[in-house]
A and B are shown apart, each in its own frame.
Chain A
Amino acid sequence: MAKEMIAMLLAGGQGSRLYALTEKLAKPAVPFGGKYRIIDFPLSNCVNSGIDTVGILTQYQPLELNEYIGNGQPWDLDRLYGGVHVLPPYQKAHGSDWYKGTANAIYQNISFIERYDPKYVIILSGDQICKQDYSDFLEFHKAKNAEFSVAVMEVPWEEAPRFGLMVADENDKITEFQEKPKNPKSNLASMGIYIFNWDILKKYLQEDEADPKSKNDFGNNIIPNLLRDKRQMYAYHFSGYWKDVGTISSLWEANMEVLDPEHSGINLFDENWKIYSRNAGMTGHKINAGAIVENSMVTDGCRIKGTVKHSVLFGGVKVEAGAVVEDAVIMGGTTVKSGAVVRHCIVAENVTICENAVVGAMPEGDENGVATIGSGVTIGENVVIGPNAMVNNNVEGGEVE
């Protein structure tokens, strides 16, 4: 039985700009928003959009991501036919290859896609926070009789040179593609979310693979080739919440936006578009007498005796009496001990911040760095971690800039 559309989710990226968080973790597995991981968003979007077959292309540090996905049950993707499949590179009769680029990753899994005989394939990216109805996107693709459609966001013109831009006519038909141009002709940034007719995608993947000079990348190769051949290419305007969380500051910002859904547009309380995640099975959280909790997200397993302001706390975080957490993202299992002050920073999982240590600082003038502490690290007593620091090893004493 053929599927109308299946999803291929690119989750192999290293996320090197998130270094301290992704040293042992694929970027899509990075925790977000109190009880989610980045990949929960595209996976939940798929299920909410009626897509029940998802291939996840992994390559970099897949262990934790694989375990997290498991059989896909938390996203209702444990299906008899279809469901979620983790697709790492594999050995073939004639040797084996790492995924050389985004297009090559899909090319190497043509046989997976063919099993479902889909009419359309949607290519998703595992490093964005976005709530999007892919079925609306597919409606658009069909209505335009397109062979390729790309989701685009209008960005401010001054920021446009940072993006891959689609130049489109009044019918949304794409006439030109500019990859990070100095002189942008458009402010329609590609979100890296594509719908292809499968026969077209397959043909171009095969041609691309045959070209030894190709970088095997959608942006660099496949899309320019489609343009060259004057294929039916359309830009689909998306206006909801979308954030590429490729940097520490954008990841921090996106977490803070969760605290202000009325203005930011990222509402995790939306009953009509739930974001699903794997549950850690901890008790309800506790806020003790003497604690202060203001404008924050708190979830199961947290124990709060100190002060927490404008912060996002993940499962099992402990904030001891006399500790202060402000404008911070504190991931699961971390302990902030008595007298420690943690501000304007991201602290990864299972970190211990010892007595009277100081991590990060509120922005002053131009200085608005987001300090980052990698997972499993211990920050010793009285240690001071500066606002621009990225710490990935235990710090026993002194200051880190």
Chain B
Amino acid sequence: MIKSSTSVVGIIFPNSYDALVPELVNVRLMASIPFASRYRIIDFVLSSMTHSGIDNISVIVNKNYHSLMDHLGSGREWDLVRKNGGLHIFPPFAEKEVGGPYIGRASALASLLDFLKSQKEKYVIMSDTNVVVNFDFNAMLQAHIDNDADITIAYNEQKLPEELLNYQTSDRIFYYTFDLEQGRIRKVYINPKTDGVQNTSMSIFVIGRELLIELISNAYTQGRSFFMRDVIMPQLGKLNVQGYKYTGYVARISGMKSYFEENMKLLDDYNLDALFSAGPIYTKIRGDNPTHYKDGAKVQNVMMADGCVIEGEVENSVIFRGVKVGKGAKIKNCILMQDTVVEAGANVEYLITDKNVTITAGKEMKGTDTFPVYIEKFKVV
């Protein structure tokens, strides 16, 4: 049953901002990057949508989406196996003229026009996956309705991450900041290099479904690709585009450095509670046993998932599922992803290991806080 005037279709773009973290998306996409010891980034937006009563969610994938398909499965963990709605994954539709990997949000949506037309929900909420939030979409939708808005875009007040300021602008990566007048967005800046706290777009949009179809149809016939730049910005005078200020916890992944820092920030209980207190975040269940700290384990200030066996020393680190740390091994300031093995006597600092990496016995490796060493999936060092 489609509920009255407040029902929503969710659309998630898991590939946006892939280019910011080229190492991590070598074998995956932004949405399936492991985060906070047992999650993938997409878990946060998906769980938030589920908590907000959105149960018709489309994920428009572009490339490297095998890991995401594997992670999402049928959507059961997010309670998205539904008779009506549920989880849909839209791969690039290669046969039609709009097909092939998309380059912008507008062109991605163009391939979804028939689907959007056949839905009954009144609103569409769209989100990327580079911002980790436990978001109350109902509150944002209510603001959208109260403000009689055509489009509402969420932002938070923050300094632009260094990585964005230093990013060599390409035509594929856009980030935006806003000037607002009584909540209405009057000016949008593309890739600004300004320092200081700014109204920084979170790329979460609320829009009426009919309006979205109209805007995308027009953009498609005019060959426009980018939703914010090509569709919204020219309409700022005509459409009521509102900003929605989000004051909750935001972890913005803009590169390797912020990925490292945002994980480490969760070692502070205050931040951890701020991110998770709004509701549980669901993820794929692996069925690991509890983590076993054996004799010789010495652990200080860590966040760790299930399935680990720890016989060495671990300090200031985020450890994902199934990691093994051998006798006498020392781990400090590291992020060790799923099934990493650190053999006996190894000594590592400021390391990010991808899945299934092995650090062999006695090996020493050290990065620095500004430049953590990254080791790719399946590597044996």
Q: A residues engaging B (CB < 8 A)?
A: 33-35, 73-74, 259, 268-269, 274-277, 279, 281-291, 293-300, 303, 312-313
Which residues on B sit within 8 Å (CB–CB) of A281?
280-283
Contact of B301 among A288, A303, A312 (CB under 8 A): A288
CB of B302 closer than 8 Å to a CB of A: yes
Which residues on A sit within 8 Å (CB–CB) of B301?
287-289
Q: Do residues A294 and B269 form an inter-chain contact, with CB atoms below 8 A?
A: no
Q: List 29 A-B contacts (CB under 8 A).
A: A34-B290, A74-B287, A268-B290, A275-B289, A276-B287, A282-B280, A283-B38, A283-B272, A283-B303, A284-B305, A284-B318, A285-B304, A286-B267, A286-B272, A286-B302, A286-B304, A287-B300, A287-B304, A288-B269, A288-B301, A289-B301, A290-B300, A291-B299, A291-B300, A293-B293, A294-B297, A297-B290, A299-B291, A300-B306
Q: Do residues B287 and A298 form an inter-chain contact, with CB atoms below 8 A?
A: no
CB of B294 closer than 8 Å to a CB of A: yes
0/1 interface trace, chain B 36-70, chain A, CB 8 Å (1 if under): 11100000000000000000000000000000000
Which of B283, B295, B304, B306 has the largest count of A CB atoms less than 10 A from its CB?
Answer: B306
Q: Do residues B303 and A279 form an inter-chain contact, with CB atoms below 8 A?
A: no
Q: Do residues A294 and B287 form an inter-chain contact, with CB atoms below 8 A?
A: no
Q: Do residues B300 and A284 form an inter-chain contact, with CB atoms below 8 A?
A: no
Q: B residues engaging A (CB < 8 A)?
A: 36-38, 76, 267, 269, 272, 276, 280-283, 285, 287, 289-295, 297, 299-306, 309, 318-319
Which residues on B sit within 8 Å (CB–CB) of A297?
289-293
Complex: A21 Cα to B380 Cα, angstroms: 47
Complex: A279 Cα to B267 Cα, angstroms: 23
Complex: A312 Cα to B300 Cα, angstroms: 19
- A-B contact number at CB 8 A: 96
Q: Do residues A287 and B295 form an inter-chain contact, with CB atoms below 8 A?
A: no
Please, which residue of chain A has its CB at the minimum distance from the CB of B299?
A: A287
Please, which residue of chain A has its CB at the minimum distance from the CB of B302?
A: A287
Q: 18 new A-B pairs (CB below 8 Å) besides A286-B302, A287-B304, A288-B300? A: A74-B287, A259-B292, A279-B287, A281-B281, A283-B281, A283-B303, A284-B38, A284-B319, A285-B304, A285-B305, A287-B300, A287-B301, A291-B300, A296-B292, A297-B289, A298-B291, A299-B306, A300-B38
Complex: A195 Cα to B292 Cα, angstroms: 36
Complex: A297 Cα to B293 Cα, angstroms: 6
Which residues on B sit within 8 Å (CB–CB) of A269?
289, 292, 309
Complex: A34 Cα to B292 Cα, angstroms: 10
Complex: A121 Cα to B285 Cα, angstroms: 31
Q: Do residues B37 and A289 form an inter-chain contact, with CB atoms below 8 A?
A: no
Cβ distance B303 to chain A, nearest Cβ, rounded Å = 5
Please, which residue of chain A has its CB at the minimum distance from the CB of B309?
A: A269
Cβ distance A257 to chain B, nearest Cβ, rounded Å = 13
Given known A281-B282, A283-B281, contact A295–B290 (CB-CB < 8 A): no
Q: Do residues B292 and A283 form an inter-chain contact, with CB atoms below 8 A?
A: no
Which residues on B sit within 8 Å (CB–CB) of A290?
300
Cβ distance B322 to chain A, nearest Cβ, rounded Å = 10
Please, which residue of chain B has its CB at the minimum distance from the CB of A261?
A: B292
Please, which residue of chain A has its CB at the minimum distance from the CB of B282?
A: A281
Which residues on A sit within 8 Å (CB–CB) of B38?
283-284, 300
Complex: A290 Cα to B298 Cα, angstroms: 10
Q: Do residues B269 and A274 form an inter-chain contact, with CB atoms below 8 A?
A: no
Complex: A298 Cα to B299 Cα, angstroms: 12
Complex: A299 Cα to B291 Cα, angstroms: 6
Complex: A180 Cα to B318 Cα, angstroms: 53
Q: Do residues B293 and A286 form an inter-chain contact, with CB atoms below 8 A?
A: no
Which residues on A sit within 8 Å (CB–CB) of B292?
259, 269, 296-297
Which residues on A sit within 8 Å (CB–CB) of B290?
33-35, 268, 297-299, 312-313
Please, which residue of chain B has its CB at the minimum distance from the CB of A285?
A: B304
Complex: A231 Cα to B280 Cα, angstroms: 56
Complex: A284 Cα to B306 Cα, angstroms: 7
Which residues on B sit within 8 Å (CB–CB) of A312?
290
Q: Do residues A279 and B285 form an inter-chain contact, with CB atoms below 8 A?
A: yes
Given known A269-B309, A279-B285, A298-B291, contact A284–B303 (CB-CB < 8 A): yes
Which residues on B sit within 8 Å (CB–CB) of A282?
280
Which of B283, B293, B301, B309 has the largest count of A CB atoms less than 10 A from its CB?
Answer: B293
Complex: A289 Cα to B316 Cα, angstroms: 9
Given known A283-B37, A285-B303, A291-B300, contact A296–B293 (CB-CB < 8 A): yes
Complex: A295 Cα to B309 Cα, angstroms: 10
Complex: A289 Cα to B269 Cα, angstroms: 11
Cβ distance B331 to chain A, nearest Cβ, rounded Å = 13
Cβ distance B57 to chain A, nearest Cβ, rounded Å = 18
Q: Do residues B291 and A303 form an inter-chain contact, with CB atoms below 8 A?
A: no
Which residues on A sit within 8 Å (CB–CB) of B37?
283-284
Which residues on A sit within 8 Å (CB–CB) of B281?
281, 283
Which residues on B sit within 8 Å (CB–CB) of A289?
300-301
Cβ distance A347 to chain B, nearest Cβ, rounded Å = 16
Complex: A276 Cα to B286 Cα, angstroms: 9
Which residues on B sit within 8 Å (CB–CB) of A299?
290-291, 306
Complex: A282 Cα to B277 Cα, angstroms: 11
Which residues on B sit within 8 Å (CB–CB) of A259?
292
Which of B36, B38, B269, B302 has the largest count of A CB atoms less than 10 A from its CB?
Answer: B302
Q: Do residues B280 and A293 form an inter-chain contact, with CB atoms below 8 A?
A: no
Cβ distance B45 to chain A, nearest Cβ, rounded Å = 16
